[in-house]
Amino acid sequence: MTHPPPFLEDPDDTRDAIMKATYVALCKHGYSDLTIQRIGDEFSKSKSLLYHHYDSKDDLLLDFLEFMLDQLEEQLPTYREGGADDYIEEIVDSTFSFGDGRPDTDFTQALVELRTQAAHDEDYREYFTRSDQFVRKHVVHTIRSGIEQGVFQEVDPQETAALFQIVFSGTMTQRVTSDDDIFEDARAEFERYVRDCLLAAE
């Protein structure tokens, strides 16, 4: 049984209830076996509402992705009290722990499947381009702050954030498409990179 994240637990309107049902159905069936019918099975209100609001499964899923991005935007702090060095440690931690252990793996699996739709579907591609840009902007901002705070070396924030993005994408893909457990090794090496190439010498 997949438990939805806290912000989905007690949906307070119809759209939130649809989003919760989508989350649960997506974790249960993955992308390819998902149907509006199956989302409806997780929905407490009338299923006809789903067909009324959405033309297709992809239409609903794109709205769901939009909803998740809004949640991410709300949850990410715009200003942090702590140092950028502590924050970059949190970013590294979430990069390598994302999707590690059920039920998160089910959702990561679905996310990777959704992302792959972008290989041949313009709407998914537009979405993932935009969500990547959002995440990267956030990392760039953190790196700039760290340079100003004197805790980071004078790196190029765009270049550093671009590599972070590649590593984030690679970790997610690797997590759900291979039984090879390379995460501990990869993390140790990435932390060595952060220590030697990003953090200012003590």
Contacting positions for a second copy (CB under 8 A): 30, 32-33, 109, 112-113, 115-116, 118-120, 124-126, 128-129, 132-133, 136, 155-156, 158-163, 165-174, 176-180, 182-183, 185-186, 188-190, 192-193, 196-197
Task: Report, in Å, the least distance between residue 154 CB and a second copy.
Answer: 12
Task: Report, in Å, the least distance between residue 131 CB and a second copy.
Answer: 9
Task: Report, in Å, the least distance between residue 59 CB and a second copy.
Answer: 18
Q: What are all long-range contacts of 4-9, with beta carbons under 8 Å and residues at least 24 apart?
A: 5/71, 7/71, 7/75
Give whichever of 5 and 30 is closer to a second copy, judged by the CB atom: 30
120 exposure class (CB count in 10 Å sphere: 0-12, 13-18, 19+): exposed
Give whichever of 150 and 170 is closer to a second copy, judged by the CB atom: 170
Give whichever of 22 and 108 is closer to a second copy, judged by the CB atom: 108
CB 159 within 8 A of CB 136: no
Task: Report, in Å, the least distance between residue 178 CB and a second copy.
Answer: 5
* CA neighbor of 167 nearest in space, from 152, 151, 187: 187
Residue with tokens 């935009």: 130
Residue 3 to residue 106: CA distance in whole angstroms: 11
Task: Report, in Å, the least distance between residue 12 CB and a second copy.
Answer: 32
Query: What would the two tokens of residue 99 be?
Result: 């999707």
Give whichever of 35 and 46 is closer to a second copy, judged by the CB atom: 35
Query: What would the two tokens of residue 39 be?
Result: 């989302």
What 3-state class would DSSP assign to 199? Answer: strand
Rg (CA), the chain: 19
Give whichever of 1 and 119 is closer to a second copy, judged by the CB atom: 119
Task: Report, in Å, the least distance between residue 90 CB and a second copy.
Answer: 19
Give whichever of 14 and 153 is closer to a second copy, judged by the CB atom: 153
